[in-house]
Amino acid sequence: METFFIVMKDQAQPYMGKRHQSEINARLEAERLARKEVGYKFFLMKAVACVSVETPPVTWDKGEG
């Protein structure tokens, strides 16, 4: 898994922020947003793990006749 960072506003939002490949770029984006939206807090989130479930394959047995 590749680590990535997301900046999130401390308020319900209908979308996830843009993925940043480096922490420094995410910090710069958080600062930009904080200056743009004075009074709001922004969190720097780091992906630490990933989980997924594979769909089991469909198998057929030959019937009689």
pLDDT tens for the chain, residues 1 to 65: 899 999 999 887 777 778 999 999 999 999 999 999 999 999 999 999 999 999 999 999 888 76
Rounded Cα distance between 8 and 14, Å, is: 11
**Domain map (residue ranges) of the chain:** 1-65
In one letter, which amino acid is 61? D
pLDDT of residue 65: 63
The whole-model pTM stands at 0.72
| CB-based contacts of 18, cutoff 8 Å, min separation 6 | 6, 7, 29
Give the H/E segment covering residue 33. Answer: helix 23-36
pLDDT of residue 12: 76
Would you state the structure tokens that stand for residue 43, as one six-digit string? 């969190």
pLDDT of residue 7: 95
